[in-house]
Amino acid sequence: MTQVAEALQEPTLGRAKQFGWEISWDQRNPKRVGTKSFERYENYKSAKSIQQAIDIGATMGDLKWDLERHYLKLHDPILKPTDEPAPPLDDSEGLIYDEWLVARLKLLPKKGDLTPLFAKIGEE
């Protein structure tokens, strides 16, 4: 599998644990008060990785349940925004705004009528 194909795979608990992805939790405990899962969630909702949550007391069942219900969010580092500015766009040879206005009137159909467009395609 190529590196790009791997990067595009759906985020899973296994990948998050294997690669040490950051995670975040809904800080409001959604579990029923007085249950063991409520107590465990209170303990592991501060964890910043899957391994840390397991070390604190989360079970894989807890993690799967929380992920399915969006209490747990996985942060794939490939999708993380960077602080680097995007390179400047070079549009020096693009259409000028006035040219676009004229072209738009010639290219775009009026009120959904595509007949002129298909007529031009048929001529070529």
pLDDT in tens, the chain (124 residues): 555 555 556 678 888 898 889 999 999 999 999 999 999 999 999 999 999 999 999 999 999 999 999 999 998 887 777 777 777 766 666 656 677 677 767 666 566 666 666 666 655 5
Distance CA 107, CA 86 (A): 32
- 123 lies in which domain range? 94-124
Residue 25: the pLDDT is 95
Handedness of CA 101, 106, 109, 110 (dihedral sign): positive
> Within a domain: residue 88?
no
The count of C-alpha atoms lying within 13 angstroms of the C-alpha of 84, restricted to the half-sphere facing its C-beta, is: 5
> Within a domain: residue 85?
no
Is pTM beyond 0.85 here?
no
15 & 48 share domain: yes
